[in-house]
Amino acid sequence: MKFKNCAVAYNFENSEYKNICIELINELTKYCLNCDIIDINNLKNDYDIIFVMGGDGTILKAARFYSGSDTVIFGINIGRLGFLSQTSKENFSNSVKKIVNNEYKIEKRLMLEAGNYNALNDFVIKSKEYGRTSRFSVKIDGKQACTYIADGVIISTPTGSTAYCLSAGGPVITPNIEAFVIVPICAHTLTARPLVVPADVEISVSQIDNKTSKTCVLSVDGQGNYEFKNEIKIKKSSKRTNLLILDDVNFYTILQTKLNWGTTPNYC
């Protein structure tokens, strides 16, 4: 695949990114790639590929905007963990060369949908009354599955399984698996465990504790909070996020290098 219309996106509020952006543009022009510079808070359509500079939050914002389109996203980490990024600011020159030489694949990542909202990582449902547990009912395809007394419930994609889901005790799921994870947050019981379900089911979450407000808050990829009452229904989105993955990048290697997964302690 040859990319014609390109753009470099970053948060214009972070002025220190500007020089790195100029370096990237200069690198791209070496290969006759004409690129625009756009603000991550003012994204535009009609690009074949977007080079997103920042952390995972920046990539998630771009992912939701370009979901449903053919635009491909390539992440360059300038933040902290950068789990969704494929390269760093120190190595982007070599990465651009690999992209030009077609040494990559494009992964169409599974997304969640709840009403008008889409998420690449996760939806998090909590009571509007923060600071106390609530009773949450979870149904799968209309059938009662479980009830949690917890701070909230996470519904995660495989992509999001290495984010908040992991911190709350959920499993890591490889991105090519079509499944969702349901994880209670700080459940007040020893029997609550994460649940992996097929991606073609509908997950319904509601708050059933009469002692608290029935108003809940839906967090979308940790970047937007929206109130709802009664029940919210979550399912597989018809949209996907197109991530460019370099041929020499392995999901398990990323787990090891960024999360120290499966590594032997120094004393062994």
What are the catalytic residues?
56
Q: How does DSSP assign 17-41, residue by residue?
A: HHHHHHHHHHHHHTTT--EEEEETT
User: CA–CA distance from 172 to each of 58, 131, 247 (Å)?
Assistant: 22, 28, 22
Query: Measuring CA to CA, how many Å separate 93 from each of 179, 189, 208, 242, 260?
Result: 35, 50, 53, 21, 26
CA dihedral 78, 82, 87, 92 (to 10 degrees): -10
- Cα gap 61→120, rounded to integer Å: 9
- For residue 216, give every residue at least 6 positions away whose Cβ sits within 8 Å of its Cβ, in sequence order, or none: 125, 126, 127, 128, 205, 206, 207, 227, 228, 229, 232
Residue identified by tokens 């597989």 is 236
Exposure b/e, 192-223, CB count within 10 A at least 16 = b: bebbbbebebebbbbbebeebebebbbbbbbe
Closest CA to 220 of 163, 151, 146: 163
